[in-house]
Amino acid sequence: MSNHRRPARDNTYRNRYLHSGAWYARRDRWFLDEQHRNGDIRCALCLAAGSARNLELHHLDYRGVAQTPYGWTAHERHEDLTALHPRCHEYVHLLIDRDRALSGFVSRRTASIQAIARLQAKIAHYIEASLDQQ
Ligand SMILES: [Zn+2]
Ligand SMILES: [Zn+2]
C-alpha cells in the first residue's frame, strides 16, 4: 500500500516545505549547479532554455526532505529535481493526477518520467499534424 496516493496531510507537509527558507536555498543552488553542469538550463518537457526566473523545480523524489525540531532539511540529490516552466509543470501534474496507474502504482520518479515522455509524444504528434496541414 505504500505506493498508493498519500493522504492530504502529506500534501500539506510538502506545501509547507515548499515555502521554507531551506527549500528556497536548495532551489537556488540547484539552478547554479545545473548551469555549471550543463552550460544551460532547460525545461524537461518542452526542452526550451530558461533560468531560475522562469522555471520551477519538480520533485522526482522527496527522500532528501525531512522536518526536524530545528527546521527543514533540504538534502535532495541534484537528480531528484527537474526544471519545468510553470505551464509545463502543471501539465505534468495534471497527467499524473488523472492517470490512475501513474498516480497510484509507480514511484513519483517513474510517474514523472512517463508523464513527460507521453506529453512530449503528444507535442510531437501535434507539430506533425500542424505541418501536414500546411
Ligand atoms: Zn517547458
Ligand atoms: Zn511538481
Residue 103 has pLDDT above 80, yes or no: yes
| Residue 1 pLDDT | 41
Centroid of ligand 1 to alpha carbon of 67 (angstroms): 31
Q: Would you tell me how many other CB atoms lie within 10 Å of the CB of residue 122?
A: 12
Centroid of ligand 1 to alpha carbon of 55 (angstroms): 8
**CA torsion angle 58 59 60 63 (round to 10):** 170
pLDDT in tens, 31-87: 999 999 999 999 999 999 999 999 999 999 999 999 999 999 999 999 999 999 999
Centroid of ligand 2 to alpha carbon of 57 (angstroms): 7
Cell 510538502 appears where?
Answer: 14
Which tops the pLDDT comparison, 83 or 134?
Answer: 83
pLDDT in tens, 108-119: 999 999 999 999
Which tops the pLDDT comparison, 4 or 130?
Answer: 130
The Cα–Cα gap between 80 and 59 comes to 6
The Cα–Cα gap between 83 and 34 comes to 10
C-alpha cell at 34: 545545473
Please state the pTM of the whole predicted model: 0.86
Centroid of ligand 2 to alpha carbon of 39 (angstroms): 23
